[in-house]
A = this chain, B = another copy of it.
């Protein structure tokens, strides 16, 4: 693969992630190409289908997420790491709609195309969850399915909270539901 081809492919992936994050996955391919600074032809050579491009973006995102989870799973304080991970993933969920859509589509992809990345995330997240539970930081009746669905929902919820402080409190509320016994309910940090 030629050097310029690889560079363009990388640019396209980055641009796609940014554009889809900002405008939703119904943004046009042309816009992605423009944002990447390449022609449409180039986009379609690298990703023969829009769906294909979306899938690539999702996979990359999933891979990063799995990586983050894996790293945190071996942290000193697994409980704290667990909640930090969730807060991080939700709050900083790309810039906007990214993680939610990524996981939404991933829910489909897991069973179809991007099975590898899906499994990766499942394993890493499952590990993190299990350890956090064993450490007594998370109520024991929460399973991996609940956690993944909750992650999606939390991301969505945050999208609909404009103000920053509302977002923060929202994440706090959701995470508190995961604790074995309710934590401090202070409104200000």
Task: List the interface of chain A (C-beta within 8 A of B).
Answer: 100, 103-104, 107, 139-143, 145-146, 148-150, 152-158, 160-163, 166, 169-170, 173-182, 185-187
Contacts and interface: CB of A to CB of B under 8 A. Distances in A.
A163 B145 CA distance: 9
B141 A161 contact: no
Contact of A170 (B100, B150, B173, B185): B150
Most chain B CB within 10 A, of A169, A177, A186, is at: A177
Chain A interface SS verdict (over half): helix
A134 to B, nearest CB: 16
A149 B177 contact: no
A100 to B, nearest CB: 7
3 closest cross-chain pairs (CB), A and B: A153-B157, A177-B177, A141-B187
A161 B177 CA distance: 17
A166 B149 CA distance: 9
Contacts of A173: 139, 142, 146, 150, 177-178
28 contacts: A100-B156, A104-B160, A141-B169, A142-B173, A143-B166, A145-B166, A146-B166, A146-B169, A146-B170, A148-B160, A149-B157, A149-B158, A149-B160, A149-B166, A150-B173, A152-B157, A153-B153, A153-B155, A153-B160, A153-B174, A156-B156, A173-B178, A174-B174, A174-B177, A177-B177, A179-B182, A180-B185, A182-B182
B186 A141 contact: yes
- In the assembly, how many copies of this chain are there? 2
A140 B139 CA distance: 23
A104 B153 CA distance: 13
A169 B146 CA distance: 7
A145 B161 contact: yes
B153 A156 contact: yes
